[in-house]
Amino acid sequence: MDRPRNPDADEYPESFINLRELEPSPIDTPSDEFKGSYFPSRDTSSALGLSGHSATYYLTQIQKYSSYTFTVFLGFHITNTSILPLLTRSVADSETYLLLTRPFYQSPLTEPLVVVLPLLAHVGSGVALRLYRRNQLTRRNGYEGHEQQRRLRWPMFSGTSLLGYLLLPMVVGHAFLNRGLPLLVEGDSSSVGLGFVSHGFAKQRVVGFAGFSALIAVGVWHFVWGGAHWLGWKPKGIVTGRTDDLERRKWRWYILNALSAGVTGLWMAGGLGVVGRGGATGGWIGRGYDELYNRIPVLGRWM
């Protein structure tokens, strides 16, 4: 009996292939010369021999852990300039404790490790992150010419980053006044302490209170919200899909701001309420303070 013909076979003869039964046999494995290139392994190491993380990862880690190190100095600083003056209610008595703890963060060895290097690393990594992200945006959008790059917007500042950039000139000015200026004029800053700060408040009360209030407030809000960011406690980190997520974000926002306000109030109570009202220093020590304040660039003529 003849097999019925498939009409499509006549119309499309090239689409049909005669099949035949074959003996099963194993698939040949690739030879050694092709093994390395046929199945390429993923290289996760960078050019520096590090793991395959991006520059953003390493810069973020530097910024994170440098802030942890700088916290050691902040603990000493708020204790000496606020908590101890509040407890002793005296600038002179607080100076004694300041002299006892000063070697822990102002010695030639500890000051660079606890203060200078962490601060430079924190600020430098933050600036480098912005430049790197800007560069990534230009590449992603295909902007090569200078005019095209100028039209591209920079990455937006977060609230914490903006506070940090506002804080930077205040910290530099504060460090110059209490550390740099005495080193330049006297070659040493051992004579500068809480009495020097009180003397400055007595000479320029409005400027002193306004400047230190801004320094403390901006600094504390930056530290608290920055710490919340590293620890994963920021309100925007609550994304669980629950119906009360919005309410929990609000409560966390209230808690962080209340904590910032509380620390700011504590620092101002001791720093401004006690040290700021300590009055001018008399005698040859006071005259030495006057000479230092008069040597402040630009502003010294009004001190």
Residue 4 has pLDDT above 60, yes or no: no
More confident residue, 2 or 187: 187
Tell me how far the alpha carbon of residue 181 is from its chain's centroid. 27
Q: What is the pLDDT of residues 8-64, one digit of tens each?
A: 445 444 444 455 555 554 444 444 433 333 333 444 444 444 556 788 899 999 999
d(CA 28, CA 47): 37
DSSP percent split of the chain into helix, strand, coil, nearest 5: 70, 0, 30
Stretch 222-246: mean pLDDT, rounded? Answer: 88
Q: What is the pLDDT of residues 97-118, one digit of tens each?
A: 888 888 888 888 888 888 999 9
pTM, 2 dp: 0.78
* 145 three-state secondary structure: coil
Burial of 182 (0-12, 13-18, 19+ CB in 10 A): buried
> Contacts from 174-183 at CB under 8 Å and sequence distance 24+?
174/215, 177/296, 181/292, 181/295, 181/296, 182/292
* 275 three-state secondary structure: helix
Q: Cβ contacts of residue 222 below 8 Å, gap of 6+? A: 160, 163, 164, 167
82 secondary structure, DSSP code:
I
